[in-house]
Structure 1
Amino acid sequence: MGLSPQPKPWSRVVMVSILLALTIRYVTWRAVSTLYLDTVSHAIFSVGLFLIELVFIFSSVVQLYLLLKVKFRNRQGDRYQQAVLDGHYCPSVDVLIPTYDEPVAVLRRTIAGCQAMDYAAKTVYLLDDQQRPEIATLALAMGCHYLTRSDNRHAKAGNLNHALEKTQGELVVVFDADFVPSTNFLTRTVGFFQNPRNGLLQTHQSFFSPDPVARNLGLETILTQEVEIFSRYYQVLRDSIDTALCYGSSFVARRAALEAVGGFDRGGLSEDYYTGVKLSAIGYEVIYLNESLSAGLSAENMADHVAQRLRWTRGTLQTLFLEANPLTIPGLTWLQRVAHFEGISQWFGSVFRIFFLLLPGAVLFWDWVPMQLSWQEVMYFMLPFYVVNLSTYRWLNFRSRSVFVSDIYAVAQCFPIALTVLQTLIRPFSKGFEVTPKGHVSNRFVFQWRLALPLLILLPLMVVFFAQGLRLASMGRTELLQMVGDPNLIPTLRVAWIGGLYNLLIVWAALLCLLDVPKPDPHEWFRVSYSARINFGLLQVWGTTNQISEAGIGIVLDADSASALGCSRQPVEVVLPEANISLTGVLVGQQDQTVSIQFQGMSLETYRQLIVLLYCQPGRWGKQVMPSEPIALWEIARAILMPVGLQRFVSRRWQRQTVVG
Structure 2
Amino acid sequence: MDTTKDPATKVTTETYFRHFDNRMPPHFPAMKDWQESLWHLLAGLCIGLGVWYLHWRWTSSLNPDAMAFSVLIVGAETLAFLGLVLFFFDIWKEGDTPRKEPPATRQDAGLEGDGPIHIDVFLTTCDESAALLEASIQALKTLRVPRNMQLHTYLLDDGNRAEIAQLAQSHGVEYLTRKNNIGFKAGNLRNALFKTNGDFVVILDADTRVLPTMLENTLGYFRDPKVAWVQTPHWFYDVPGETKGSKLKDPFMANPNVFFDVIQRRRNRDHASFCCGAGSIHRREAIFHDALRQLGKDMDAYQKFLPETKDRAKASLRATPAQPFRFHVSEDIFTSILMHSDPQSGWKSVYHPQAEARMLSPWSVEAWTSQRLKYAGGTFDIMLNANPLWRKGMPLKTKLHYAATFWSYLSILWLSVLLMAPVLSLFTGVAPVNAYSLDFFLHLLPPLIMAEVATMVGCKGYNTTAGRLVTIGCLPLQWKALWLVLRGRKPRFPPTPKVPGLAGAAKRLIPNFIVLAIMAAAAVFGIIATLLELPGYTPSKTIVNIFWCSWNAFAVWMVVRLYWWSPEAELQAVRAT
**What secondary structure is seen at the aligned counterpart in 2 of 1:330?**
coil
Corresponding position of 1:432? 492
Query: Aligned letter for 1:303?
Result: E
1:195 maps to which of 207, 213, 224: 224
Q: Are positions 1:23 and 2:83 aligned together?
A: no
Size of the aligned set, in residue pairs, is: 504
**Does the Cα contact within 8 Å between 1:124 and 1:144 map onto a contact in 2?**
yes
Matching of residues 102-117 of structure 1 within 5 Å: 102-117=128-143
Cα displacement string for residues 403-426 of structure 1 (whole angstroms, at most 9, x for unaligned residues): 2x3344234422122121122122
Return the alpha-carbon distance in structure 1 between the equivalents of residues 143 and 438 of structure 2: 62
Provide the TM-score with structure 2 as the length reference.
Answer: 0.79
In the alignment, the residues of structure 2 paired with residue 210 and residue 276 of structure 1 have an alpha-carbon distance, to the nearest angstrom, of 28
Map of 1:92 onto structure 2: 118
CA distance in 1, matches of 2:327, 2:252: 35
Question: Conserved in 1, the CA contact under 8 Å of 2:373 and 2:477?
Answer: yes
TM-score by length of 1: 0.69
What residue is the counterpart of 1:496 in the other structure? 545
Note if 1:274 corresponds to 2:300.
no
Q: Which runs of 5+ in 1 are unaligned?
A: 528-546, 548-590, 595-661
Please tell me whether the aligned partners of residues 290 and 339 of structure 2 are also in contact (alpha carbons under 8 angstroms).
Answer: yes
Indicate conservation of the 8 Å contact 1:170/1:254, yes or no: yes
Seen in structure 2, the aligned counterparts of structure 1 residues 380 and 28 have a Cα distance that, compared at 3 Å, is same
Q: In structure 2, what is the Cα distance between the partners aligned to 1:285 and 1:233? A: 19
Q: Between the two proteins, what is the percent identity of the paired residues?
A: 23
Partner of 1:81: 101
Seen in structure 2, the aligned counterparts of structure 1 residues 318 and 505 have a Cα distance that, compared at 3 Å, is: closer
Structure 2: distance between partners of 1:6 and 1:473 = 53
After superposition, the Cα gap between the structure-2 partners of 1:377 and 1:5, relative to the gap in structure 1 and judged at 3 Å, is farther
Aligned residue in 1 for 2:522 = 465
Q: Give the AA of the match of 1:117.
A: L
Q: Which has the larger radius of gyration?
A: 1
Question: Pairwise mapping of residues 268-347 of structure 1 onto structure 2 (< 5 A)?
Answer: 268-282=328-342, 283-322=346-385, 324-347=386-409
C-alpha deviations, 1:558-588, integer Å up to 9, x for none? xxxxxxxxxxxxxxxxxxxxxxxxxxxxxxx
Q: Which residue number in structure 2 is paired with residue 204 of structure 1? A: 233
User: How far 1:251 moved relative to its partner?
Assistant: 0.5
Q: CA deviation at 1:472?
A: 7.5
Q: Distance in 1 between matches of 2:474 and 2:234?
A: 22
The corresponding residue for 2:78 is 54
What's the C-alpha RMSD, in Å, of the aligned pairs? 3.5
Mapped to 1, the partners of 2:424 and 2:455 lie a distance apart of: 29
Q: Secondary structure at the match of 1:292?
A: coil
Range 245-254 or range 362-371, more displaced: 362-371
Q: Secondary structure at the match of 1:81?
A: coil
Question: Any idea what the Cα deviations from partners look like across 1:446-470, whole Å, max 9, x if unmatched?
Answer: 6722223223233333233334555
Question: Which amino acid in 2 is paired with 1:81?
Answer: E
After superposition, give the CA deviation of every residue in 1:13-66 in whole Å (9 maximum; x if it has no partner).
21222112112212222222223344xxx3332222222222221121012223
Counterparts in 2 of 1:211 and 1:239: CA distance versus 1, 3 Å: farther
Please state if 1:122 is matched with 2:151.
yes
Alignment match, 1:388? 450
Q: Name the SS of the counterpart of 2:407 in structure 1.
A: helix
* CA separation of 1:410 and 1:194: change in aligned 2, threshold 3 A: same
* Rounded Cα–Cα distance in structure 1 between residues aligned with 2:241 and 2:373: 16
Rounded to whole Å, the distance in 2 between the matches of 1:428 and 1:234 is 30
- CA displacement 1:260-285 (0-9 Å, x = unmatched): 11153334211111111111112312
- Kindly indicate which of the two structures has a greater share of residues assigned to strand: 1
1:473 touches 1:494 (CA, 8 Å); kept in 2?
Answer: no
Contact 1:33 1:373 in 2 (8 A): no
> What residue ranges of structure 2 are gaps of 5+ in the alignment?
1-30, 110-115, 292-322
Distance 1:369 1:224, change over 3 A: closer
Is the CA contact (8 Å cut-off) linking 1:232 and 1:400 kept in structure 2? no
Measured in 2, the distance between the counterparts of 1:161 and 1:424 equals 25
The one-letter code sitting in structure 1 at the alignment partner of 2:508 is L
SS at structure 1 position matched to 2:56? helix
Q: What's 1:371 paired with?
A: 433
Indicate whether 1:410 and 2:471 are aligned. Answer: yes
Secondary structure of 1:500's aligned partner:
helix
Aligned pair in 2 of structure 1 residues 407, 249: CA closer, same or farther (>3 Å)? same
Q: What CA distance in whole angstroms lies between the structure 1 residues aligned with 2:419 and 2:433?
A: 17
